[in-house]
Amino acid sequence: MVDEHPASDLSAVTQAVAVNVREQRKRLTWTLDTLASRAGLSKGIVVQVEQARANPSLATLSKLGEALGLSVSDLIAVGEAPAVRIVESANAPVLWQGKPGSEARLLIGSHTPDLLEMWEWSLASGEQYEGRAHGPESRELITVTAGELTLTVSGRDHLVQVGDSVSYEADRPHAFGNRSSEIVMFVLVVVDPGGAGAH
């Protein structure tokens, strides 16, 4: 579950997800059972999400987005996307947290028609995040702003130093790790043609 956020942030994200999941499901004329089956979730979880009674985890958001054809940023968006959209730093939600000092914030995203998302990550010493493979032809780009990131793609480790950038095919298993004693910070851009979800 997404937790340890200010109550107002959680409430806004939870409400937006509830509305967007429900509206997209109805547009597709799917039952709750259909969505649950396609997302690989229980009907109870889908009901809780649609009624804003649950703070969905990043994995749950990703599964719902993939099933509905929406990105994570689509799921948490409020209203129509304007021609120019500014997301203030205070409004960029934290959608994943690990041990203290480890978190991922979705800075901004769009889906027109390809999925584009920009994330800000921090990993405390010893932290490891296992990402799942995205859609065909998806790519991710990273710039490390502090520390040394261990990027693992298809089981092979790559060290990315502060100030360095890396691009890789994201349609395969990948992971982010911090094997140093210092915090690692990086900006992640996800490009997923026709895709529905990132981390």
CATH code: domain of residue 40:
1.10.260.40
Residue owning tokens 């749950």: 60
Q: Give a yes or no: residue 81 inside a domain.
A: no
- Domain stops at, among 40, 70, 100: 70
Please report whether residue 78 resides in a domain.
Answer: no
Q: Is 70 exposed, middle or buried (0-12, 13-18, 19+ CB in 10 A)?
A: buried
Residue at 91: amino acid letter: N
Is the CB of residue 183 less than 8 Å from the CB of residue 147? Answer: yes
Domain residues for 41? Answer: 7-70
Which is it for strands 103-111 and 115-123: parallel, antiparallel or unpaired?
antiparallel
- Distance between CA atoms of 103 and 176, rounded to whole angstroms? 12
Q: Report the C-alpha gap between 119 and 169 in whole angstroms.
A: 17
Residues 128 and 168 in one domain: yes
Same-domain check for residues 188 and 103 = yes
Domain count, the chain: 2
* b/e sequence 16-51, b meaning 16+ C-beta within 10 Å: bbbbbbbebbeeeebeeeebbebbebeeebbebbbe
**98 and 186 housed in the same domain:** yes
* CA pair distance 130, 110, nearest whole angstrom: 24
Is 159 a member of any domain?
yes
Three-state DSSP state, 58:
helix
What does pTM read for this prediction? 0.66
pLDDT values of the chain reduced to their tens digit, one per residue, 199 residues = 333 444 445 577 788 888 888 888 888 889 999 999 999 999 999 999 998 887 888 888 888 988 888 878 778 876 555 567 677 888 788 888 999 999 999 898 876 667 788 999 999 999 999 988 888 888 999 999 999 999 999 999 999 999 999 999 999 999 999 999 999 999 999 988 766 545 5
Is 133 inside a domain boundary? yes
